């Protein structure tokens, strides 16, 4: 049965395409029940590779059902038809993803960056407390809602941490994510602590938000790995990055996993905790659930789950979307490339360019 007919029977009116690959696609739709636009990820089991069906998809479905946090994209409903199609109804990132936003606007103001990064940190802290690791954090997987709040999406690489009989974490061995956001231990094919891997990727995201460029050039992996292992973080001369923020990034991008800062300490870092200046010059505490940073692990709760652009299989166990969002950001502060014309969003470019004063 046609997707539009299947969804119509459940109260969804199908809209535009948001991304498509060989066995998965994401479309926008209007929900009669929710009275709002949603994103629907449609996976065709008959076209998907075995490792995706046996490993990644079951993990994703189980994890999405367990995550409920305001800075993680909600999953409203998941159902499957007899024809082997899985439909995942999710919250729509109305303002698009973070990569598109930065391509349109350039480097973000410090206060706005701090707000988004704090929201990202709270979401990952929540997941890590449940022993859930994302393993594919990148700007494309961070969506913005109508009020410019950050929502973590795409848990296609996510998994739960397992422990041995002695209570020691069992390290991950599968290469996951994108090379530009990958930690050196992952690039080297070493067994890795996936929680610390998430922290490295967050450091790359923070660099991109403040500098509008990539910290590492992944066109030459061998050279990039050498720079990473030397613990070099080269900031563009054209950008003024606060000393406290440089310190945080330096701690997050530490090649020594034993020395890399952990998520709880990130939220306690002086740059994350510092007050910001509003656009009228007065000082105030940033918007966002900052009080959660001080909550105990038992008290941390929020809201939920995902809107990917469709995870696809390329080779082996690396699962990537085939419909890319466009050229990557440049390195060393060069002008970012325009986003792909194939990516369609509900909001206009003008709306994404302007950050409302009350969102910082």
CB 24 within 8 A of CB 310: yes
The reply, when asked if residue 162 is annotated as ligand binding, is no
The reply, when asked if residue 41 is annotated as ligand binding, is yes
Q: Which of 3, 97, 111, 136 is catalytic?
A: 136
CB 151 within 8 A of CB 93: yes
Burial string for 65-94 (b: 16+ CB within 10 Å, else e) reads: eebebbbbbbbbbbeeeeeebbbbbbbbbb
Q: Which helix (H) or strand (E) holds 79?
A: strand 75-80
User: Is-catalytic flag, 136?
Assistant: yes
DSSP track, 220-270: SHHHHHHHHHTT-----TTS---HHHHHHHHHHT-S-TTTSPPHHHHHHSH
d(CA 86, CA 77): 11
The reply, when asked if residue 154 is annotated as ligand binding, is yes
Query: 60 in helix, strand or coil?
Result: helix
Q: Which residues sit in the known binding site for Mg(2+)?
A: 141, 154
Q: Which residues sit in the known binding site?
A: 41, 141, 154
Active site residues: 136
Q: Which residues sit in the known binding site for ATP?
A: 41
């Amino acid at each position: 049965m046609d997707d539009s007919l299947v969804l119509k029977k459940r109260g969804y009116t199908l809209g535009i395409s948001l991304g498509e690959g060989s066995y998965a696609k994401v479309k926008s739709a209007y929900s009669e029940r929710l009275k709002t636009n949603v994103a629907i990820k449609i996976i065709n089991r008959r076209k998907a590779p075995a490792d995706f069906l046996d490993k990644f998809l079951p993990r994703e479905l189980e994890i999405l059902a367990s995550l409920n946090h305001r800075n993680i994209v909600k999953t409203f409903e998941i159902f499957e038809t007899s024809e082997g199609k899985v439909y995942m109804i999710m919250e729509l990132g109305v303002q698009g993803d973070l990569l598109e936003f930065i391509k349109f606007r350039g480097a973000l103001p410090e206060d706005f960056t701090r707000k988004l990064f704090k929201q990202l940190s709270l979401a990952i802290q929540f997941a890590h407390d449940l022993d859930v690791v994302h393993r594919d954090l990148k700007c494309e997987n961070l969506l913005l809602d109508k009020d410019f709040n950050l929502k973590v999406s795409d848990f296609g690489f996510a998994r739960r941490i397992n422990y041995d009989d002695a209570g020691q974490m069992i390290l991950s061995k599968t290469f996951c994510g994108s090379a530009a956001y990958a930690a050196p231990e992952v690039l080297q094919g070493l067994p890795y602590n996936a929680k610390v891997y998430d922290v490295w990727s967050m450091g790359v995201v923070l660099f991109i938000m403040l500098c509008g460029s990539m910290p590492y050039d992944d066109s030459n992996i061998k050279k990039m790995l050498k720079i990473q292992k030397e613990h070099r973080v080269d900031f563009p001369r054209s950008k003024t990055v606060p000393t406290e923020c440089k310190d945080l990034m330096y701690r997050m991008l530490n090649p020594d996993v034993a020395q890399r800062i952990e998520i709880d300490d990130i939220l306690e870092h002086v740059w994350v905790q510092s007050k910001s200046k509003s656009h009228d010059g007065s000082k105030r505490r940033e918007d966002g659930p900052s009080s959660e940073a001080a909550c105990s692990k038992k008290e941390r709760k929020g809201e939920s789950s995902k809107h990917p652009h469709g995870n696809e299989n390329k080779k082996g166990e690396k699962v990537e979307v085939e419909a890319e969002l466009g050229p990557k950001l440049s390195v060393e502060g060069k002008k970012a490339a325009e986003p792909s014309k194939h990516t369609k969003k509900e909001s206009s470019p003008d709306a994404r360019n302007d950050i409302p004063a009350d969102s910082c």
